[in-house]
Amino acid sequence: MIKKPIGDFAKIQRIKVVHPDIVFGREEKREKKFSDLSGNRLINKCIPIASLLLAVLITVFVGLFLYTGYNHLNDGTSESTTIQEEPELLNALKDAQDKGVLMAMHGWVHEDYSTLTPLQIKENIEKGKQVFEKAGIVPVAFILPLEPINGVIDASLKQEIESNGISTHLPVLETDGSFRNEYTWNWRTMENFEDPRFLEASEQIKEENPTTILLHVQDWNPYTKQFITDYLSSTNKMNITIRVDDIEVNTQPEVIYDITQLTQYESVGQVGFSIIPVGAGKSDNPTIGSINVNKIMEVYFWFFIITSLLPLSFFVIWKALSEWHKKREQTKYLLKDGKDPKDPDPKDPMLISIIAPAYNEEKSIGKCLESILNQDYKGEMEIIAVNDGSSDRTAEIISKYPVKLLDLKVNGGKANALNKAIEIAKGDILVFTDSDSYMAPNAVSSLVKCLNENKEAQMVAGNVFIHDDHGKKRVMKYFQMIEYRIEQELIRHLQSLSDSILVCPGPLTAVRRKVCDVVRFSNETIVEDSDFTIKVLKNSMKIIQEPKAIVYTNAPETVRGWYKQRKRWWYGNLQLWRLHKKWAVRNLWMIFNYLGYITGICSIILIISIPYFILQYDNIPLILMSGMQYIAFSILLYLIFIGPFFTTDKKLLLMLIPYVLIYATIKVVVISSLFLCYLTGRGVRVKFGAKTFVVR
């Protein structure tokens, strides 16, 4: 009788009968397979970087497109205002003219005359003359906008301007460069007399003792006034000329009256005003104090573009490129080997333990257990239903099904119920589900197959969708169906690519038995599934997603029910950040989640303050029209990026617009309020199981 070789000897015998070329071929194939895997890993690491670069380019391009489009809209739709249409300003200018102030034209709209054709120069000067004439103001000179720093105008340009019958300088104010040291430039930001600019300029003007002084009307304030009057009352110079540039439709009449008073000083020989005939009305360029409202609106614009468009485009591009690469690799293997690389080798069926904790779930526990019993998994399953101290008929209903009932007489919380079930579970793989959720028939087999194919993975998340009961749905349920779809197919999918899923959901998750030997569920937070997931990640275990493993869960259909649920979820995430902060600051997904709370607060502040800034404009309809165009374009972009996820569900596709306008706003408000409760230490009151407590 010949005995079969065993152990290492058996391996030696097998090697002896194998042809050397075949052995060499195997080694070569192994090396090639390793090389292919290394190449794939490198490509998978490069895809997020390439996606981010493309997203940045798209964000910048779209941002600039919208920004320049908005400016073009303003240029095309804003009605220009002339000084004659500002009666109070016009009266102040006429009063100044009557008191001997010389009036000069300062271009048409303060344009760069070195870039204009002779015909354009002629037209602008003629239009300016007409405005001055109708206003009753006599222009005695033309002061070139954007005048060269040395005050000397190009001879040909000077000749072109003067050929239209107007001088290029004010009388007694020669453009020899002597006035170019403008002492008060940009003093519009000055706040006190101790400002170094004020002190230095006061010493400088005493030393230079000038006879010509240039001012810009924007810089006229109590500090400029004090500076000028101190000099005029103390100097021994006479016939001092003061030129004030950039007077325009938005200049306050009080400023004109104030500057006109300088003519009363004995040391002053002449005061001249450089006036821009036409400009944007006050509604197009309002200010609050010294702050330009348009600048504030620009900050708002770029904030919303960067915080919304950039991450959205990044995630969508990342998913698209990764799926393209995955299909490309699968096609390559199919063409070469005729076999799908994802087809696993046959495996012996394993014992699977399915755990379903329940508290007062008499309405749903039956359907949950039926969905488990109807699984198509070919191996052995043990089903453990935990009655966590329910006060209704939950335990009675469970007892009617061929499952193991773990009947806890006192409600100890979901984490405790799961741990008790883990202690008695015998399976090689543990599958967790919720008693208000219903698995698709292939959910368990898909999870097991995923773990068989990915030996390095220790935990796998299923896909959770809202249960479609084909009945009448409220708007909040539609919103949540959209939210779940985006969360599963975009965010969690990308987290799976980086082996860093942050939440393996309670309704459907599978883990290898050895995971539960290291990590158990905890009551440290109000989100036990997220806490468990993070602890697994902290133990350097890989977590992935299986899209084919689907479970359907019930969703709150009222705003009140929705708020109670999200309050626990979103505040629980803040608890996780505090509990695992040292690890969280090194995880990009955790940082991204936390930044969502910060940008939420900023968004609320901006949204609340926008109406105040809009009211600073006179032409409010134009501003509102521009805002509506921004919103419409933003929604269009959102539909372009997100719409493909809903091509098979037209109802949800149509709900995307109200989802963005209404639901997203509600989410930001709730998230921001919870973040404030977290930052202030006030905490929130949460009902979890049979207990109600304050979480801080």
pLDDT per position as a tens digit, 298-323:
888 889 899 999 999 999 999 999 99
Give the type of residue at 41.
R
Highest mean pLDDT of the ranges 65-69, 166-170, 474-478, 514-518: 514-518
- Is 59 among the domain residues? no
- Is 294 among the domain residues? no
Residue-wise pLDDT tens digits, 186-229 = 898 898 999 999 999 999 999 999 988 999 999 999 999 999 99
Same domain? For 462 and 358 the reply is yes
CB 551 within 8 A of CB 356: no
User: What beta strand segments (E) does 81-198 contain?
Assistant: 81-82, 102-105, 139-142
pTM of the model: 0.70
Same domain? For 425 and 507 the reply is yes
Residue 100: exposure state from Cβ atoms within 10 A (0-12, 13-18, ≥19): exposed
CB 533 within 8 A of CB 434: no
Domain stop point among 232, 261, 279:
279
At residue 529 the predicted structure's pLDDT band, cuts being 50, 70 and 90, is: very high
Same domain? For 424 and 554 the reply is yes
At residue 627 the predicted structure's pLDDT band, cuts being 50, 70 and 90, is: confident
For residue 8, pLDDT beyond 60? no
pLDDT, position 334: 62
> What number is the average pLDDT over the span 244-272?
93
- Tokens found for residue 262: 């300088």
> What number is the average pLDDT over the span 561-571?
93
How many angstroms separate the Cα of 150 from the Cα of each of 147, 158, 177, 178, 209?
Answer: 8, 15, 5, 8, 19
Same domain? For 515 and 654 the reply is yes
At residue 629 the predicted structure's pLDDT band, cuts being 50, 70 and 90, is: confident
CB 555 within 8 A of CB 467: yes
Same domain? For 534 and 398 the reply is yes
Q: Residue 369: which residues within 8 A CB-CB, separation 6 or more?
A: 356, 383, 385, 398, 401, 403
* pLDDT more than 70, % of the chain: 86
How far apart, in whole angstroms, are the C-alpha atoms of residue 503 and residue 534? 8
What's the CATH code of the domain at 449? 3.90.550.10
What range defines the domain where residue 484 resides? 344-695
How many angstroms separate the Cα of 188 from the Cα of each of 147, 197, 215, 220, 438?
Answer: 21, 12, 12, 7, 67
pLDDT, position 69: 62
Q: How many domains does the chain have?
A: 2
- Is 333 among the domain residues? no
- Is 54 among the domain residues? no
How far apart, in whole angstroms, are the C-alpha atoms of residue 329 and residue 340? 10
Q: Which residue has the higher pLDDT, 63 or 618?
A: 63
How many angstroms separate the Cα of 7 from the Cα of each of 40, 304, 527, 693?
Answer: 36, 66, 49, 60
pLDDT, position 11: 35
> What number is the average pLDDT over the span 413-442?
95
For residue 265, pLDDT beyond 70? yes
pLDDT, position 336: 59
In which residue are the tokens 């760069």 written? 112
pLDDT, position 335: 59
pLDDT, position 160: 87
DSSP per residue over 257-313, as a string? HHHHGGGGSTTEEEEEEEE-SEE--GGGS-EETTEEHHHHHHHHHHHHIIIIIHHHH
CA 312, 315, 321, 326 torsion-angle sign:
negative
Same domain? For 375 and 240 the reply is no
- β-strands 381-388, 404-408 pairing: parallel
Give the type of residue at 57.
L
Q: Smallest Cα–Cα separation from 63: which of 258, 306, 420, 345?
A: 306
At residue 156 the predicted structure's pLDDT band, cuts being 50, 70 and 90, is: confident
Same domain? For 354 and 275 the reply is no
> What number is the average pLDDT over the span 231-249?
92
Same domain? For 240 and 354 the reply is no
How far apart, in whole angstroms, are the C-alpha atoms of residue 143 and residue 353? 88
What's the CATH code of the domain at 144? 3.20.20
- Is 485 among the domain residues? yes
- Is 69 among the domain residues? no
pLDDT, position 346: 45
Residue-wise pLDDT tens digits, 268-298 = 999 999 999 987 655 556 777 767 787 888 8
pLDDT, position 281: 56
Range scoring the smallest mean pLDDT among 33-37, 105-109, 352-356, 586-590: 33-37
For residue 172, pLDDT beyond 70? no
> What number is the average pLDDT over the span 400-411?
95
Same domain? For 420 and 564 the reply is yes
Domain stop point among 239, 258, 279:
279
How far apart, in whole angstroms, are the C-alpha atoms of residue 464 and residue 630? 34
Q: Which residue has the higher pLDDT, 383 or 634?
A: 383
> What number is the average pLDDT over the span 413-421?
95
Domain stop point among 240, 260, 279:
279
Q: Which residue has the higher pLDDT, 49 or 170?
A: 49
Highest mean pLDDT of the ranges 65-74, 352-361, 639-648: 352-361
pLDDT, position 177: 45
At residue 467 the predicted structure's pLDDT band, cuts being 50, 70 and 90, is: confident
Q: What is the mean pLDDT of the chain?
A: 85
Same domain? For 275 and 361 the reply is no
pLDDT, position 471: 61
For residue 382, pLDDT beyond 80? yes
Same domain? For 370 and 261 the reply is no
- Is 381 among the domain residues? yes
Same domain? For 601 and 475 the reply is yes
- Is 97 among the domain residues? yes
